[in-house]
Amino acid sequence: MNGNYEKLLSIISKSSGLSKGEIELKVNTKREKISGMISHEGAAQIIAAELGIAFENEKLKISDLLPGMRKVNIVGKILSVSPIRTFTTKNGQEGKVVNLVVADETGNIKVVLWDLHHIELIEKNQIANQSIVEISNGTMREEELHLGSFSEFKPSNDLINDVKTERVVKEKKISELKTGDNAAIRGFIVQTFEPRSFNVCPQCKKKVNPDGEGFVCLEHGKILEEKRFLMNFVLDDGSETTRAVAFHETLLGLGFKEMGQEAIGKHRENLLGKEMSFSGVVRLNKFFNNQEFIVSNAKEVNPDELIISLEKN
């Protein structure tokens, strides 16, 4: 069962006083009545309404927000404000949009402002970075909270001391991954490809261009290059497969810089069929026009930790 459904059960349980088991029984009964023609999440939303739980009347924590939620209310601290962008609408009028990152003690989320009155508060510096804001009647689109003309966006007198500033990584199935997601997945390595090397600037770590017998960095000029490596592989978690990319000189336990081709080939064979946990970000590979998972961290699955995690769920 996906994480959104589990989280929705927890929210309904907290608001209704019923156990998750009791709510899940109601969900299954509701689905049976309509021959399974509705998802578990959709049935849970219906049960919430039947129990008199209206999310629009409740201030939620950021960690409680789920894709598809409407009339969302939160209070949070602004961690960053992007430059305001202008665009031309289909009817030829000028529009504006600005992105914020808003956080509370449970997580942080991208908030997108479309209404000119809300954006004016940013332009006049009445709301700025580190401001505490109250948001009402927002709409969740995927993993973002969007505010339109029917939403409220205003300063709040609430005090928020400790907020989650680090990037939020959510556990997901491969079939649930969408471009831009920061996610943690667990899967089996079912295919590996030959590692490739490239050269970077030792100072800024950006890719460098060959220049005669040496290399040049656009920022630091002539440099003594640093060799780095990447490896592509395919992950399968039972829901779907995805192509993954791990960068840097040491990846998946391999120090490619010190290893010969024979040793690399042997280790690649050992990786096949291995179950591992990965965290990273989903990017669109424009050359192939498909998603790929850019790995930032990888570790072997610890059976004891896995059992504890499954017991909690």
Fold agreement (55-166, 170-312): yes
Give the CATH fold of the 55-166 domain: OB fold (Dihydrolipoamide Acetyltransferase, E2P) (2.40.50)
Give the Cα separation of 46 and 57 in Å (integer). Answer: 16
- The Cα–Cα gap between 142 and 180 comes to 10
CA dist 254 and 283 (Å) reads 24
Mean pLDDT of successive 10-residue segments in the chain (313 residues)? Answer: 70 83 88 75 79 72 78 92 86 88 90 95 94 92 87 92 80 86 89 86 83 85 84 92 80 62 78 88 82 86 64 55
**For position 253, what pLDDT does the model report?**
64
State residue 299's pLDDT score.
Answer: 84
Q: What pLDDT score was predicted for residue 260?
A: 66
* Domain spanning 170-312, CATH architecture: Beta Barrel (2.40)
pLDDT at residue 309, as a whole number: 59
pLDDT of residue 166: 79
The residue ranges of every structural domain in the chain are: 1-53, 55-166, 170-312
How far is 285 from 292, CA to CA, in rounded Å? 6
pTM listed for this prediction:
0.55
pLDDT given for residue 75 in this prediction? 94
